[in-house]
A and B are shown apart, each in its own frame.
Chain A
């Protein structure tokens, strides 16, 4: 497989995640879309370090850090969603517009 193919997969994943983030109204669905985007970045980083030569472990480290960050982020986000669900009985972003000007 060539670098271009790896990057294409990463771009596809990124685009899919972005689309889902913008299009979905459910906070949980948006969080899943966000995870897709993070995964695409991991793929791109690993592919680039592998094909650009040099130390391939850099890409691995980046991917591991992203996975850790994503886990933490998901934990925080899900607990926030629970709080939001309790206080507003909804996790629809269109309902959460109290800062509207």
Chain B
């Protein structure tokens, strides 16, 4: 089974240990090189906290279960601060091919909820394998040019 960023955002996080709701998922943070979700951002603005992927015990369709409340931590370093602020969010970000042509904004990201691996980027009506993902930053997501890019 695959899950999608557009469906996962807003999902509640629940502590497996206490059954308490911990907040709602606002961003998924991705390691582009490994094409892997590394952490989740919970809440927004200055109150945003981070949960590392290895503290997620079950990424389910109705709730994201995390081991316990101690899994929530403050964002550390520039990269996580930027991620917590939503600056690195893939959804809605402009896509550039490595040839320097815009392909449109990222409309969805399909991922494996078991392992957190990225599977497909949806860019407009085009689907691009996650293996084509070259980089992502505050300005753009960069993908290897699909065969029909630029036409």
**Are A and B part of the same complex?**
no
Residues of A bordering B, CB below 8 Å: none
